[in-house]
Amino acid sequence: MPRAKKAKRDPNLEIMKQVSMGLFSGRDTYSLVELMLKKSREVTAADAGSLYLVEEDPSGGGRHLVFWLTQCDSRSFPFTWFSLPINTSSLAGYSAATGQILNIKDAYRIRNLPFRHNRDFDRISGYRTKSMLVIPMKNHREEVIGVLQLINAKRHREVKLNSPEACEREVVPFTKRSQDVAYWLAAQAALALENSLLYRETRQMFDGFVKALTTLVESLDPAAYGHSLRVAKMTVALAEAVDRATSGPYKQLRFTPEHIQEIRYAALLHNIGNVGVGEETRAKARKLEPSQLDLVKKRFDYARKAIELESSQMKLDYLARSGNEGFQDFSAGVDAEQLRKIQALADHLHTVMRANEPAVLPEKTVVKLAEIAGWTFPEPSGQSEPLLTADELKLLSAAKGGLEESERLHIESHVAGSVRVLEQIRWPKELKNIPKIVAAHHEKLDGSGYPHHKKSDEIPFQAKIMTICEIFDALTAYDRPGKKAVPAERALEIMKAEVAANRLDPELFRLFVEAKAYQPEEND
């Protein structure tokens, strides 16, 4: 029994399959149109081709065609961006305006049609444009979003059209089959291109939303304005340094553009939870509010006056009891005791003022504050009052910073607040880790961070990157309530000590310093 003949495989079908898969596997606009033009020329044996995209005039002048890409097997042409009006005066403009395909046998012999082929390019380059296939690229709404131009179909693909004679000998009209295949490819490309442009617009809109949200949050705390943007720039710079590393424990680690975008958004949004932290707590510069400190100072004034009044009363009592005999010596003793008490009172106020600053408080100062709180003075009403109330003593005795423990915990709650907000957003797959990264950006390798006291391997790698950048900016940013900015060199020394204490990743810190990721603008 004779074998059935094996069906001849159409190579164009394989190309069309490859193009279809390629077009919908990427979102980069230039790569899409480059692939589409290359494959369209391949299936039609076109020596050259160009592609125009329809764009809106940002000044409100309507739509026009923008020259995006050109390719040629026989010549290398310099590329120059230019635009064309969408009207019937040019081949591309006509196709865009009418939505019609143009299959031209010879571009130099166009008769009785509104458009003409512009020969200026041919004259400059010495190239001869002959057969042309001009195809509108339409989206699913049948709107033209671009125009594909294929030039000079050849008998033999490999031949170069280096002379007018070669052009006359090799160039043939585009066949109906070539036209149909090219139209199908243009339609596929239009859909992919529209998806790409929609994706780009969506990302631009989302990026604008993230920046606007960041600006809104930071406007609530003017002292920290710009912090999130600076941290985002440093975080991206450090991630890119990791990506470039050719040695060390992270030399195999690579970040895709999507990974970089994810960590950038996480850095921009890491403080969004500050919305739920009271402004008075967030911006608290000293332990006592100005009004509270004024009351304390008034008490010290009353105490000093009470000491002076007591001294005067003692002198009057002596005169009434003993007259002038020995008064001079007695008065000198009273004055000396008064001076001692007033000096002690001044020392106590100085201790209170120092304790009111948001610095680390020595234990001996805490003891001294308790001693001061035990001092009393008589008010004008005659009642005895302490120099410091129990609440004032508690605030002044806070061991670190300008916040008592409950206020510190309230500040730290911004992490949980950020995560709650970010978990409400339906993130695309490539950005789904943003809440997890933000949740851990204050964690430390030794478990001393917050809010969950995670250790080393429990902390997402992206969060380790952000932690280093966040700490650097917190140390070096302009003076904030509760802290003074330190120079970059001093900040790096402080962070080096944190690395030695196993709180920060040593390799990431090394890359941070070597790549100068703390100066992202200088690395641009």
CATH of the domain at 53: 3.30.450.40
Section 478-500 average pLDDT: 79
pLDDT at 391: 84
pLDDT at residue number 297: 85
- Count of structural domains, the chain: 3
User: Looking at the structure, do residues 240 and 314 belong to the same domain, yes or no?
Assistant: no
Same domain, 145 and 256: no
Same domain? For 275 and 309 the reply is no
Judge whether 110 and 141 are in contact, CB under 8 Å.
Answer: no
% of the chain at pLDDT higher than 90: 36
In a domain, residue 1? The reply is no
Six token digits for residue 440: 């851990």
pLDDT for res 489: 92
pLDDT over 70 (residue 97): yes
**364: domain range?**
290-402
Confirm whether 396 is domain-assigned: yes
User: Could you tell me the two tokens for 276?
Assistant: 């739920």
Segment 488-515 mean pLDDT: 93
Q: Pick from 385, 402, 419: which residue ends a domain?
A: 402
Same domain, 417 and 376: no
Q: Are residues 394 and 415 in the same domain?
A: no
pLDDT classification of 28: cutoffs 50, 70, 90: low
Our CA angle for 44, 46, 52, nearest 5°, is 100
438/270 Cα distance (integer angstroms): 5
Which of 402, 424, 455 is the last residue in one of the domains?
402
Per-residue tokens: 329: 């010596």
Are residues 53 and 168 both part of a single domain? yes
476 domain-assigned: yes
Give the mean pLDDT of 53-76. 85
Which pLDDT value is given to residue 282? 47
Tell me the average pLDDT across 274-299.
65
Asked whether residue 193 falls in the same domain as residue 80, the answer is yes
pLDDT score recorded for residue 245: 93
Q: Is the pLDDT of residue 26 over 60?
A: no
Cβ neighbours of residue 487 closer than 8 Å, sequence gap 6 or more: 476
Question: Residue 230: its pLDDT value, please?
Answer: 92
Has residue 462 been placed in a domain? yes
pLDDT of residue 18: 56
Above 60 in pLDDT, residue 191? yes
> What is the reported pLDDT for 396?
80
Predicted pLDDT at 410: 43
Within 10 angstroms of residue 20's Cβ, the number of other Cβ atoms is 17
> How far is 38 from 33, CA to CA, in rounded Å?
8
Among residues 377, 402, 427, the one where a domain terminates is 402
**pLDDT in the model for residue 361:** 65
pTM over 0.85: no
Q: 328 and 233 share a domain?
A: no
Look at 432 and 223; give whichever has higher pLDDT.
432
Element (H, E) at 384: strand 384-386
Establish if 250 belongs to a structural domain: yes
pLDDT band at 58 (very low <50, low <70, confident <90, very high): low
Say whether pLDDT at 521 is over 80: no
pLDDT band at 291 (very low <50, low <70, confident <90, very high): confident
Segment 176-196 mean pLDDT = 85
pLDDT of residue 128: 92
| 52-56, 147-151, 372-376: segment of lowest average pLDDT | 372-376
Q: Is residue 210 included in any domain, yes or no? A: no
Pairwise CA distance, residues 264 & 491, whole Å:
23
Are residues 392 and 303 located together in one domain of the fold? yes
Residue-averaged pLDDT of the chain: 83
Residues 105 and 194 both lie in one domain: yes
Q: How buried is residue 15: exposed, middle or buried, by Cβ count under 10 Å (0-12/13-18/19+)?
A: middle
pLDDT tens figures, 196-253: 777 777 777 878 878 887 777 777 666 567 888 999 999 999 999 999 999 999 999 9
pLDDT beyond 90 at 366: no
Torsion sign, CA atoms 151, 156, 160, 162? negative
CATH, residue 504: 1.10.3210.10
What is the per-residue pLDDT across 137-152, written as a single tens digit (0 to 9) for each? 998 888 999 999 999 9
Residue 160 has pLDDT above 90, yes or no: yes
Question: Looking at beta carbons, which pairs linking 67-71 to residues 24 or more positions away fall under 8 Å?
Answer: 68/30, 68/33, 68/146, 69/30, 69/33, 69/34, 69/37, 71/37, 71/38, 71/41
Q: Which pLDDT score is estimated for 25?
A: 52
Q: What tokens does 309 get?
A: 């009044």
Residues with Cβ within 8 Å of 501's Cβ and at least 6 positions away in sequence, in order, are 446
Report, as an integer, the average pLDDT of 103-122: 91
Looking at the fold, whether 374 and 272 belong to one and the same domain comes out as: no
- Are 490 and 345 found together in one domain? no
Q: Is residue 80 part of a domain?
A: yes
Given this model, what pLDDT does residue 436 score? Answer: 94
**Selected residue with higher pLDDT from 7 and 455:** 455
CB-side neighbour CA atoms (13 Å) of 472: 29
Q: What is the mean pLDDT of residues 452-478?
A: 91
Q: Give the ranges where 279-379 is alpha helix by DSSP (H).
A: 279-282, 290-322, 327-355, 363-373
In a domain, 67, yes or no: yes
For residue 415, pLDDT over 90 is answered with no
